[in-house]
């Protein structure tokens, strides 16, 4: 749905975004991950045709954004990290205004449909200024949905939301994906992306370090396994045995369990378990520790910012 090549944006001598090659499949939720100043917002603004790249190309649904920006805008909905609403309008009036702006036919049917999607039907006649932060966020998304964009771009959408509102937002984005919309969402809060994203891209200093599904990135970049081992009784005998195995890089005791850095391959794990058993180590549990999105980011990022 979205493909970029050599995407670069410079401000004087500073490269806010540098040579980004991005591919986002349709009907997915793609998460832009990175610290503040990594280039996430600049990238989203270029994808939304609000900012012209210094160099490089952007294709949205096969359309060149530089040559046909108006056609691209018909396919994209964009919500910035800070956005204004018209507080003196009712919710339905606010959406009706944007239906008119986008020449949406049967606007009242569309308004009812969108309000149902974002779970704001019960607030149809409420004043926009009386909505909670989470409801305002969902109304901002509803504003984009009145013209059925194929791609939705969200910049830090969960900022300032309470846990319940964040769950509602996550469920809404999943619903959009299931309806066929491609969603790109940026955040520096990894926990809010880990449960919703199909694919992710990690940005740092304007560069896209890695991009793809979390599982694929883990498989490509993993250099060792974190194993958790629990034995019956004191761990000294197990530690002594493990220290004789060349592929065991380090061992530490955490909450009564052994945590092991194992540099071998996944296929080598059965042999490690067999060695423990043959040395009469009473193994209660033995499993690789699952690496999550936060672990992946911390492992690949240097922590630098622009």
pLDDT tens-digit readout, 281-291 = 999 998 877 66
pLDDT at 160: 76
Are residues 235 and 281 both part of a single domain? yes
Query: Which residue range forms the structural domain that includes residue 266?
Result: 223-290
d(CA 121, CA 139) in angstroms, rounded, equals 11
Around 148, how many Cα atoms within 13 Å sit in the side-chain half-sphere? 8
| Within a domain: 22 | yes
What average pLDDT score do residues 138-164 get?
89
Are residues 43 and 145 both part of a single domain? yes
Number of domains present in the structure of the chain: 2
CA geometry: angle 54, 185, 10, nearest 5 deg: 15
Are residues 83 and 162 both part of a single domain? yes
Are residues 232 and 169 both part of a single domain? no
Are residues 115 and 132 both part of a single domain? yes
Q: What is the pLDDT of residues 71-85, one digit of tens each?
A: 999 999 999 988 889
Are residues 153 and 35 both part of a single domain? yes
Are residues 173 and 232 both part of a single domain? no
- How much of the chain exceeds pLDDT 70, in percent? 91
Residues 6+ apart with CB under 8 A from 154: 79, 141, 173, 183, 184, 185, 186
pLDDT at 221: 60
Global pTM value: 0.77
What average pLDDT score do residues 118-146 get?
93
| Within a domain: 300 | no
**pLDDT of 34 higher than 70:** yes
Domain boundary among 192, 214, 236: 214
Please say whether the beta carbons of 117 and 142 come within 8 A: yes
Fill in the DSSP letter of residue 180.
T
List phi, psi (to 5°) of 259: -110, 125
Are residues 26 and 163 both part of a single domain? yes
Domain boundary among 214, 245, 272: 214
Domain boundary among 195, 214, 233: 214
pLDDT at 78: 94
Please say whether the beta carbons of 188 and 34 come within 8 A: yes
pLDDT at 144: 92
Are residues 196 and 116 both part of a single domain? yes
* pLDDT tier at 29, thresholds 50, 70, 90: very high
What average pLDDT score do residues 267-289 get?
89
| Within a domain: 275 | yes
Q: Which range is least confidently modeled, 140-144, 152-156, 187-191?
A: 187-191
Are residues 178 and 274 both part of a single domain? no
pLDDT at 210: 84
d(CA 129, CA 11) in angstroms, rounded, equals 37
**pLDDT of 304 higher than 60:** no
Alpha-carbon torsion (186, 190, 192, 197), positive or negative: positive
pLDDT at 37: 85
Give me the CATH number covering residue 260: 3.30.70.100
């Amino acid at each position: 749905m979205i493909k970029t090549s050599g995407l670069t944006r410079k401000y004087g001598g500073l490269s806010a975004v540098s040579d980004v090659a991005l591919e986002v499949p349709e009907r997915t939720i793609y998460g832009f991950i990175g610290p503040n100043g990594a280039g996430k917002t600049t990238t989203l603004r270029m994808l939304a045709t609000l900012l012209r790249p210094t160099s490089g190309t952007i294709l949205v649904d096969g359309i060149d954004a530089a040559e046909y920006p108006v056609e691209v805008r018909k396919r994209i909905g964009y919500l910035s990290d800070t956005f204004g609403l018209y507080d003196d309008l009712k919710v339905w009036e606010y959406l009706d205004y944007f239906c008119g702006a986008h020449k949406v036919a049967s606007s009242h049917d569309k308004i009812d449909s969108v309000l149902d999607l974002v779970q704001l039907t019960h607030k149809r006649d409420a004043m926009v200024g009386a909505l909670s932060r989470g409801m305002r966020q969902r109304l901002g998304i509803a504003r984009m949905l009145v013209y059925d964009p194929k791609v939705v771009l969200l910049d830090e959408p969960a900022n300032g939301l309470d846990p319940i509102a964040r769950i509602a937002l996550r469920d809404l984005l999943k619903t959009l994906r299931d309806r066929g919309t491609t969603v790109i969402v940026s955040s520096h809060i990894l926990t809010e992306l880990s449960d919703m994203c199909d694919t992710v891209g990690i940005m740092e200093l304007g560069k896209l370090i890695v991009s793809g599904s979390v599982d694929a990135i883990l498989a490509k970049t993993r250099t060792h396994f974190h194993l958790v081992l629990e034995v019956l009784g004191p761990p000294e005998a197990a530690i002594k045995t493990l220290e004789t195995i060349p592929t065991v890089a380090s061992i530490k005791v955490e909450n009564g369990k052994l945590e092991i850095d194992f540099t071998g391959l996944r296929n080598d794990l059965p042999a490690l378990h067999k060695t423990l058993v043959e040395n009469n180590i009473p193994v209660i549990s033995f499993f690789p520790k699952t690496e999550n999105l936060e672990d992946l980011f911390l492992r690949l990022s240097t922590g630098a910012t622009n």
